[in-house]
Amino acid sequence: MGGIMVAKLMVIFFSAILINNFVLTRFLGICPFLGVSQQIETAIGMGLAVVFVLTLASAMTWVVQHLILVPLGLGFLQTVAFILVIAALVQLVEMVIQKVSPTLYKALGVYLPLITTNCAVLGAAVLNIREGYTLVESTVHGAAAGVGFTMAIVLFAGIRERLAYSPVPVSFKGFPIALVTAGLLSIAFLGFAGFNLGKLFGM
């Protein structure tokens, strides 16, 4: 039983990173993906902040859904409640980091407020409920979604840094070539579509 549970968690984890990558497959979180990917350093900072918030938000929204909204018959308020939870969580995380580690706050302070409007966080919370995940599965899925986001934005930032010194046609310089690159990166991740993770982990 424990082995099956671990295998299921592994499938959820790697599926959210590779097969159902939130940015390159589900097309969620595109705004920070395009806006904070000019440099690898800033991309890593944004990615780590998203991993942290996505993990906590997935757990907290599951608790709100199953312990508050469903028992009280307030399921129709799911989206509003989740947005409030995510916004409050981001503000709480920002205040805690500012008090505990001012250095880390200076590094991530620019990116933390952006996470409130990152639709990937809300998307992960809604998907957790739609897929019927447990609390542990929801938390793992949220963490994996954050890791997938980080991987995508760091890869994209690395390519954009190289493009800055490449002989790009004038009509493609700047944002146009970034969009073309993002499209090609998304197509590359389609190679993982149909990959049977369940069979790989013995399910």
pLDDT of residue 201: 58
Name the nearest CA neighbour of 148 among 15, 42, 9, 52. 15
pLDDT values of the chain reduced to their tens digit, one per residue, 203 residues: 566 788 888 888 988 898 889 898 888 888 888 877 888 888 888 888 888 889 999 999 999 999 999 999 888 899 999 999 888 888 887 887 788 778 767 766 666 777 776 788 889 999 999 999 999 999 999 999 999 999 999 999 999 888 888 888 888 887 888 888 899 998 988 888 777 665 665 55
pLDDT of residue 136: 94
Structural tokens at position 155: 């890869």
pLDDT of residue 148: 93
pTM of the entire predicted model: 0.86
Instruction: Please list, residue by residue across 165-184, b when 16 or more beta carbons sit within 10 angstroms of its beta carbon and e when fewer do.
Output: eeeeeeeeeeeebbeebbee
pLDDT of residue 147: 94
pLDDT of residue 107: 67
**End-to-end alpha carbon distance in the chain:** 12
pLDDT of residue 197: 66
